[in-house]
Amino acid sequence: MARAALNRARGAAVILAMLIAALAAAVAATVFADQQRWSRAVEHRRDQVQAQALVMAGVQWARQVLDDAARYSSVDHLRQAWAVPLPPIPLDNGEIRGAIVDAQGRLNINALGDNGATADLERRRIAALFAQRGGPTAALDAIADWIDTDTMVRDAGAEDAYYAALPVPGLPPDAPVVRIAELASVKGVTAQSLDAVAPFLSALPAGTPVNVNTAPPEVLATIVDGLDGDRLAALVSDRAAKPFVSISDFRARLPKGASLASESALSVKSSFFYVTVEARQGETLARARALLRRSAGAPTAIAWQVVE
């Protein structure tokens, strides 16, 4: 009896020891897994911070490049260093790339909210672009109402009453837009029609001229009458070989059969530039988008910046 009880006690002790060992192993595995998750979280956060720091440094690089260009040239064109995209540059555990685009090579959507002869000219150019590219042509008045500072409804426009009656009520800002994406909320503007013209539009202060040295062919075609097909290709080729030094030079070098109705709101010099920088660290990707403003006698400034 005593021996049997002793054997049972020993057996229970062995089982208890096995249970304790199993529990310890489970605890150790859990702690190890938690440490692994914590380590991965720390690494991800570290990569995220490093990637964001890199893209912000990229914006500073763009500012310096634009300042350097201004020191050596009185015009801006596509043969300058700023216009060459920064290819993917390998880094420890990642890479960085970037590009600078002349915002004044595009048509300024905020011109629709302005008044006067120059504003009417710019509206015709924007209307021509919309017709050419499948943009929201019927929404021109609505876009103008979204941007202008009054509450008067244009013929095909919309003001407070329209937006307040929507399922999700709102009000138009009655102010210039900062980014083209804001137009997605305008009456009559669809995502598809906006995407079709967004690469050729900018959102800048009203009255900012278009740089004919950097404008893509689609924009040049809205500026010059009779400029299409071979004539457009010839002008772009001529510009690539020798940038325009003035608007008079631009007019003088137009192909036969093309004409410039007005030199208003045109330039060969730019002050606004869009910058996009992407950086990857590990599996983390960061992106910075910015609008830079260059002023005479002052360092290039950041008008706005978004880091994602």
What stretches in the chain show pLDDT beneath 50?
Answer: none
**Fold equal for 2-104+271-307 and 110-204+216-265:** no
Handedness of CA 71, 77, 80, 84 (dihedral sign): positive
pLDDT at 83: 97
110-204+216-265 to CATH, choices 1.10.40.60, 1.10.10.10, 3.20.20.60, 1.10.4030.10:
1.10.40.60
- The 10s digit of each residue's pLDDT in 44-60 is 678 888 999 999 999 99
As given in the structure block, the two tokens for residue 111 are: 């011109």
Q: Any idea where the domains of the chain sit in the sequence?
A: 2-104+271-307, 110-204+216-265
Residues in CB range of 229: below 8 A, 6 or more apart: none
2-104+271-307 to CATH, choices 3.30.1300.30, 2.160.10.10, 3.30.70.3040, 3.30.750.24:
3.30.1300.30
Helix/strand/coil for 212: coil
Single pTM value for the model? 0.85
- The 10s digit of each residue's pLDDT in 187-244 is 999 999 999 999 999 999 999 999 999 999 999 999 999 998 999 999 999 999 999 9
Are 231 and 258 within 8 A, CB to CB?
Answer: yes
